[in-house]
Amino acid sequence: METLGKTGRNAEEANQIGVLDAIKGRRSIGRVKADAVEREVIEAILEAASWAPSHHNTQPWRFVVMTGEGRAKLGEGYAKIAAAASPGLSGEELEEKLRKERAKAYRSPLVITAICSPGDDPRAVREEELAAAQAAVQNLLLAAHAYGLGAIWRSGAPMFDPIMKANFELREDEEIVAFLYLGYPDMTAPEPRRTPVLEKTVWLDK
């Protein structure tokens, strides 16, 4: 891959961004352009996700990548949940509600569902498996930033709903940990706001 046009970065440029720069420079970007994200970039950020730490090297993550009409998978999940929660609606009113719910899946050209998929290692602890999958999401977000992408980690009640879990055909022990909306930014990144870390730190040295 040589170039990605005016909005993205090629692999060499992405590799030149320091880890600390990426950590401090990444922001949640909720508005992105409709331009497709290149397959090579998607594969690169997934590769970065796969290098997250995990207890006993269980690597308890998997991803569902949705582009184009593939995003309908997520849209139908939102619609099914909304329909189940609206037993009193029918006709045009119900259809309009479901239309709005389906549209949520199309807010970016690329959506990735990140799933905690525990392995069969008897030493694995569920809470640690979830933490590892979430660490993989952070890796993915940092890599996306390095490639010039905007991204936002979405969750909310629908992500945890059994209907959504069934919609993605998850096993009983699997959990969705993130809906990641990605694309080339169509907004200015917000200014950083962080509480000084020393206000959240206790030093024990005696």
Residue stretches of the annotated binding site:
26-28, 55, 153-155
Contact between 137 and 97 (Cβ < 8 Å): no
Q: What is the pLDDT of residues 138-154, one digit of tens each?
A: 999 999 999 999 999 99
Please give the DSSP secondary-structure letter assigned to residue 63.
E
DSSP states along 124-188: --HHHHHHHHHHHHHHHHHHHHHTT-EEEEE-SHHHH-HHHHHHTT--TT-EEEEEEEEESB-SP
Q: Coil, strand, or helix at residue 66?
A: strand
Query: Six-digit token pair at 57?
Result: 């090297």
Angle, CA of 108, 111 and 82, to the nearest 5°:
90
Q: What is the pLDDT of residues 77-127, one digit of tens each?
A: 999 999 999 999 999 999 999 999 999 999 999 999 999 999 899 999 999
From the list 78, 180, 173, 179, the residue with the least C-alpha distance to 130 is 173
CATH classification of 12-66+109-161+170-185, choosing from 3.40.50.960, 3.40.50.970, 3.30.365.10, 3.40.109.10?
3.40.109.10
Prediction pTM value: 0.91
Residue stretches of the annotated binding site for FMN:
26-28, 55, 153-155
* Domain range annotation of the chain: 12-66+109-161+170-185
Separation between Cα atoms, residue 47 and residue 63, nearest integer Å: 11
Q: How many other C-beta atoms are found inside a 10 Å radius of the C-beta of residue 199?
A: 6
